[in-house]
Amino acid sequence: MKRIGFQFKIGPERLAEYKEHHKHVWPEMLQALRESGWHNYSLFLRADGLVFGYFETEESLSAAQAKMAATEVNTRWQQFMSPFTDTNARPDETFLELEEYFHLD
Amino acid sequence: MKRIGFQFKIGPERLAEYKEHHKHVWPEMLQALRESGWHNYSLFLRADGLVFGYFETEESLSAAQAKMAATEVNTRWQQFMSPFTDTNARPDETFLELEEYFHLD
């Protein structure tokens, strides 16, 4: 299993609303993530809207993203979340992968 | 087990050297982390020196940090790493905890 770290940005104006949506992620979106190999997936927020994502997957971020991109529910979710990013982009098109330089089991 | 996300900053000038040290973290430092409840601990780097840390622990970031602060090896390691931060501070005194707003097992 590989460990993936990435970041993206949410606009600071509507953070409370953005967070609230993440307490009620659609069950079919959660199922698509599971079936696309997103394991132990967490999202962390800095007060200014910077987001850090962490998950574990068998292959790579790009492979896990490609599997999600093939699902209809992901398109709907990303469109739903686009107004919350700082550029009105689909969040998943702005992911910046980070380099793991240390790990301790 | 709680999932912890935090960030700190490394100066961009000596990133290669900083990363190299993390390929050879002292065994007694790794052991202190294990005994202080730092599990599945990863550090991720952005090209400008922003670091994202992730680990799992039974209680909290502050409790896990307090246990490390009580070890002699942590003092030595943090002093060794201080010249690499952007403010010459001990890295562990600059950790900014992030808020987990989403999780999927």
Q: What are φ and ψ of residue A2, in 5° steps?
A: -95, 150
Tell whether B2 lies on the interface with A, counting CB pairs under 8 A: no
Q: Whole-model pTM above 0.95?
A: yes
Q: How many angstroms from the chain centroid is the CA of residue B88?
A: 15
State the pLDDT confidence band at A30, using cuts at 50, 70 and 90: very high
Answer yes or no: are the C-beta atoms of B56 and A17 closer than 8 Å: no
List all residues 6 or more positions away from A102 whose beta carbon is below 8 Å from its beta carbon: B22, B25, B41, B42, B43
**Beta carbons of A34 and B3 less than 8 Å apart:** no
What does the alpha-carbon distance between residue B54 and residue A96 come to, in Å, rounded to a whole number? 17
Q: Say yes or no to pLDDT of B86 above 90.
A: no
**Beta carbons of B52 and A5 less than 8 Å apart:** yes
**Beta carbons of B46 and A96 less than 8 Å apart:** yes
State the pLDDT confidence band at B72, using cuts at 50, 70 and 90: very high
ipTM of the complex: 0.96
**Cα four-point dihedral sign A34, A37, A41, A46:** negative
pLDDT per residue as tens digits for the range A50-90? 999 999 999 999 999 999 999 999 999 999 999 999 899 99
* Nearest chain A Cα distance for residue B43, angstroms: 5
Residue of chain B whose Cα is closest to the Cα of A44: B100
The domains located in chain A, with CATH, are 2-98 (3.30.70.100)
